[in-house]
A and B are shown apart, each in its own frame.
Chain A
Amino acid sequence: MPEVRRGTAEPLPTIAGAAIGLTLLGLAVSQLAVSAQSVPSTGAVATVRLKPDTTVPPRLVLDRYCVTCHNERLKTAGLTLDQIDVAHPGQRAEEWEKVVRKLRTGAMPPANAPQPSAQDRTALVSWLESSLDAAAAAHLNPGRTDTLRRLNRTEYQNAIRDLLSLDIDAASLLPPDDSGHGFDNVTVGDLSPALLDRYISTAQKISRLAIGGAQPSAQTDVIRLPADLTQEEHVPGLPVGTRGGVSSAHTFTHDGEYDIQIWLARDRTGSVGGLRASASHELLVLVDRTLVKSMTIEMPPDGDDTSVDAALKVRVPVTAGSHQVGVAFVKNAASLLETARQPLLAHFNENRHPRLTPAIAQVSITGPYAAKAAGDTPARRRIFVCRPDDARPSTSSGRPELAEGRKEDACAKQILSTVMRRAYRRPIAEVDLKGPMARYREGRSEGNFDAGIGRALSAVLVSPEFLFRVELDPDGVAAGAAYRISDLELASRLSFFLWSSIPDEELLDAAIRGTLSRPDELERQARRMLADPRSSNLASNFAGQWLGLRSLESLDPNVRLYPDFDDNLRQAFRQETELFVDSILREDRSVRDLIKADYTFLNERLAKHYGIPHVYGSRFRRVTLAPDSARGGLLRHGSILAVTSYATRTSPVLRGVWVLDNIFGAPPPPPPANVPALDDTPVAASLAMRQRLGAHRANPACASCHKTIDPVGFALENFDAVGRWRDDDGDSGPVDVSGALPGTGAFRGVAGLEESLLSRPELFAGRLTEKLLTFALGRGVEYYDAPAVRKVLREAEPGYRFSSILLGIVKSVPFQMRRSS
């Protein structure tokens, strides 16, 4: 019997005699005896009672096709199926789930072994899945997330934004997070001294930025531009007619004057790149798109440009708050470069792609000077929900300073409890206020009311109640039992899943009222949160990690082979994929469209890279593609094709593993520790890629995995290491793009790969669900989560809309429950 806390009625099915949901392999199953409606051919929910004896019974299927290798004697891959009891799969769920995955994806039996008929395979899988689901329903295992999980960098930054209306750059304040199972919110139980130290520094800095502080001294922030950024064209956010430079939001703590200083990019010898005696350049400094100063840069008559940027500074009055600081050059009209060879788009390095015009290396903002009192900023408005003067005077005292102090204390308490409620994500009791109020009094005695609030705010931001997400076993629950997590814990899970941030007021209120776990309320909140712009987090944070886009930052293609690569292209790659995934989310399209779509997002730089004409300007816009276009779904995105390549060439192995893991759901095992070294026979670089990797197939020890991995990558060989389409590969002639996926026949090229994936959409949808569930729970998905994943898929069929999958996860057992220790 499942043990459940909180006394809520469990709306979960019991085993005996109930309808069992089935998901089919997308093939007609005509021989199954059905007691309800007939079964449609492709992946639809059907209510069927299985009678195992109408087709080949599961035991016979195993004996005929599996036991040849997977027996007690050979123990292939550590799996023995000859003695195992197939009538009660629930008793050995871990092994059976592995079997199910292999059977579903078609990875087993191996291609060169006898295959069961489609019906028999389906019947076996159906039997196993329905039994496993039923067993799981009888003994719920929601898995156990860690009790204490630290906010990672992204979550911290978003939490500060939502808590204090303050934008910070967490990447410059906190060290990077480690990843587990592909996501950086998994291994977050640690708190090293270095990290604690940084949290303290960061809390103090944030407090100062948010409150303003009493005696400000000038601080410097430096904006550094990447060294490989081409600055010849327009940058979004800066006025049309300018080129290069940077536009960045900066938080000014006080009304006052700030120095903005600019350094120009210099090449390896120390000269300003792109500065010639023949031309002068106008540099503009803008605050909130208003011109503050314009400066002229030209080569001095003696040709010595050592001090040419010494005078590039301006002192400007700015009000407190967040403002856009922009620095850019006026674009000098220039005629098109008429050269025999197509000019490169990248210009940042003297050797191969010299700068045509000067560029900016660094901008520093120092201040405030002549600061006035802390100005009115969104953060201050957010924090100061009352002022000590507004508080009603105490009625019982005759001493004015005591009344004053009580007024201030009362207001301080109000301010702090408001902030702490959102920061700690729970109702605040008197005992919670003790610590922060003590800090407030410290700061108040050393300074003024604002200083006291500032000190207390730092304490709140350093509290483990803010830094950690805590999930506690309730009292009285038996060991190893499944219990429903509290509404407050559920609210946090929901907001950190969809927004990577703290719950907002509405969500928190629902949780405090105790209504959040009601199915209709939960769905309403989840839908509301998906419609909120903050859910773009799924496109940037989740998809960025799932698809491996974080590797774009360190992408460094060989400059000789791929000379036309700069930071502009790197950022464009990322933008295309993030905007694309976001569009699938916003329009609630089917996740199938992630694989194959007739549109993408481009700006001029990326369009030129892809060879798509008539796209002008730096702004990203949706572009409908021609039917024969080489672009479309994720498999054709430059970002993914580049991060799955080496600096000098493509890698079918990397691409194969990437597709099998992230898209198909059958990740190959890692190479064994004692993988035999290939002969030191060098392979001619002029050979086709397929031949160069020939040793993978020739050596049987390697072939066991590589005969599955390599063909997937070969199908993508039309795309080079920076994602451009090619029909030939250098000297080795036309690329051979025949490929294969487990369980399908052969196909050609990326189109064939897409078609094969879409013929079994439940595999991709299932893998995406697993990745989303990992991200949602902050733990790796295990065999006991498989029934929950199958349930999500069943409810998302046949459309597989993004929202159906997301809501399915929110409603799932692992998301709503937890196993006690």
Chain B
Amino acid sequence: MIIMKKALPRRTFLKGVHAALALPLLDAMIPAATALAKTPAKPVARLGFVFIPMGCDHSRWTPKGQDTLGDLSPILSSLAPVKDHVTVVSNLRLENAYPGTHDTSNAGFLSAAFAKHTESSDYYLGTTVDQVAARQMGQDTQLPSLELSMDISSRAGVCNNGYACVYSNSLSWSSPTTPLPSEAHPRLVFERLFGEGGSAAERRAVLRSRASLLDSFSEDIARLKRRVGIGDRARVDHYLDSVRDVERQIQRAEAAAADSPVTDLDRPEGVPAAFADHAKLMFDLQVLAFQADITRVVTFQLTRELSNRTYPEIGVPDPHHPISHHGNDPEKIAMIAKINTFHVSLFAQFLEKLKATPEGDGTLLDHTVYLYGSGMGNPSVHDHENLPILVAGGAASGLRGGRHITYKEGTPLANLHLTLLDRVGVRLDAFGDSNGKIEDLFG
């Protein structure tokens, strides 16, 4: 729960509109200290997942040290400023992604489930960890979760080896048969988060007029209630319940808008041409979403599996997928390492921004846990062993960073998901193919 240091008096933002409803005292208005006492001890407040495709070059990814993260490996070097908040995790695997393909790497990353091999509409996977968390954490926020990607177009039909495109399109699934679409257009993400209105002043005005429209509706409904028969009054009361719910949401939005520094941000214009700029914008939107407490669960597909994108800006003129089949050619491996480094640097910038944003008695980074990684290990052989995984943030919940933990070979990635779910308050016996929790991650 976001902790506001002040308790706002109700309706400070409404000027000159008589309140037609008398609402009960809302918990959003309870001062911070009391609110904390009701929540579980030191829960993880926010959860995020970032996906990169086609594994990594392990020789340059895996740090030398065990336990304490001494010198960062070449690929992870950009994480130096936030080293104490990052844990590198080795030897996790994704059994259910076998027989290895790109689609199952994407599909399995958050579900740890076996993807039904079909091109048709009878696809079947499993509920992903972010959606399980969202059911718990998304109750009080405007959006239960946010699904982002970098891909403007969508695909249909077969994507790879007889798998329907939903497996490589969708990182998040809210049920075994419900893949969630993601949004890549920064403007549309912004509008989804903050509603319409280009400037902060406009958005405040929009919120004000929403509240007044709601009053309008309630007045009319109250009049209608007097005209309908007794049998229908219960129905009208249900409508009034809905009015109360929406009023609460508007008040929350107003409170957030009044308090947070995001109010001055204007809406992004279009999709930036450069990959790094587009990615940075998508990361910035996540920061905003957290600051305004619009959502607490985010998934972000940084690049698609099978991507053929070239990265001339970092000296990789060849397309990603073919060089990922390096066959141990050192030149190709080096280029893969450059791509990995580039991606990590974008994530590192994001972590730095989270760290620089104060929240409560710490920073945004302290109250947020992000998992960054891939569903594939060695791309050249399409294996799903020793997946590249980073866990960042979460200091307020006891996540100790600055470490490199190597687990027993073959530990399921799902164990990590199960652990994270536990820390947000979802206690399950198992998730996907998990066989236990990862204990030493949280202090």
Contact = CB atoms under 8 A, between A and B. Distances in A.
Nearest to B218: A464
Nearest to B103: A268
Contact of B307 (A191, A265, A269): A269
Nearest to A565: B157
Contacts of A353: 157
B197 interface: yes
B228 A472 contact: yes
Contacts of A204: 196, 206, 209-210, 213
Contact of B242 (A148, A192, A261, A443): A192
Interface in A435-466: 435-436, 439, 442-443, 446, 455, 458-459, 462-465
Interface in B128-152: 151-152
B382 interface: no
Nearest to A189: B235
A400 to B, nearest CB: 25
A560 B158 CA distance: 10
Nearest to B199: A217
Contacts of A414: none
Contacts of B34: none
Given A200-B210, A200-B214, A349-B156, A435 B220 contact: yes
A204 B216 CA distance: 13
Given A306-B309, A348-B157, A361-B153, A218 B121 contact: no
Contacts, number: 190
Interface in B171-192: 185, 187-188, 191
Contacts of A473: 229
Nearest to A264: B153
B71 interface: no
B406 interface: no
B154 interface: yes
A349 B242 contact: no
Nearest to A208: B196
B242 A464 contact: no
A587 to B, nearest CB: 38
A647 interface: yes
Given A197-B246, A364-B185, A554 B156 contact: no
Contact of B310 (A148, A195, A218, A306): A306
A191 B214 CA distance: 13
A304 B202 contact: no
A462 B217 contact: yes
A362 to B, nearest CB: 6
B321 A269 contact: yes
Nearest to A647: B120
Contact of B196 (A205, A261, A463, A470): A205
A470 B317 CA distance: 66
A459 B155 CA distance: 41
Interface in A339-361: 348-349, 351-353, 361
Contacts of B307: 269-270
A266 interface: yes
A271 B155 CA distance: 12
A263 B185 CA distance: 11
A31 B73 CA distance: 101
A455 B17 CA distance: 14
B157 A352 contact: yes
B308 A271 contact: yes
A227 B228 contact: no
B160 A268 contact: yes
B104 to A, nearest CB: 14
A1 interface: no
A147 B235 CA distance: 10
A201 B242 contact: no
Contacts of B209: 204, 443, 455, 458
Nearest to B190: A220
Interface string A192-213: 1101110011011100100000
Contact of B213 (A304, A458, A468): A458
Contacts of B270: 259, 261, 364, 366
Interface in B303-321: 304, 306-310, 312, 317, 319, 321
A590 to B, nearest CB: 38
Contacts of A554: 121
Interface in A538-572: 554, 556-560
A310 B213 contact: no
A38 interface: no
B246 A263 contact: no
A238 to B, nearest CB: 20
B331 interface: no
Contact of A196 (B122, B160, B246): B246
A274 B152 CA distance: 17
Contacts of B273: 307, 310
Contacts of B198: 217-218
B13 to A, nearest CB: 13
A217 B202 contact: yes
Contact of A442 (B156, B188, B212, B224): B212
A203 B216 CA distance: 12
B221 interface: yes
27 contacts: A147-B228, A148-B235, A191-B238, A193-B246, A201-B210, A204-B206, A220-B188, A263-B153, A266-B153, A268-B159, A268-B168, A268-B306, A270-B308, A302-B317, A349-B157, A361-B152, A362-B152, A366-B187, A458-B209, A464-B239, A465-B224, A472-B229, A473-B229, A556-B120, A556-B121, A559-B119, A559-B157
Given A268-B160, A465-B220, 20 more contacts: A147-B228, A148-B235, A193-B246, A193-B249, A195-B242, A200-B214, A203-B213, A215-B202, A227-B156, A227-B165, A266-B151, A268-B155, A268-B168, A306-B310, A349-B157, A352-B158, A366-B270, A439-B216, A464-B221, A470-B227
Interface of A: 147-148, 189-193, 195-197, 200-201, 203-205, 208, 215, 217-220, 222, 224, 226-228, 259, 261, 263-271, 302, 304, 306-307, 310, 348-349, 351-353, 361-362, 364, 366, 435-436, 439, 442-443, 446, 455, 458-459, 462-465, 468, 470, 472-473, 554, 556-560, 647-648, 821
Which 8 A-B pairs give the minimum distances between C-beta atoms?
A217-B198, A361-B153, A193-B245, A227-B156, A349-B157, A556-B121, A269-B308, A228-B156
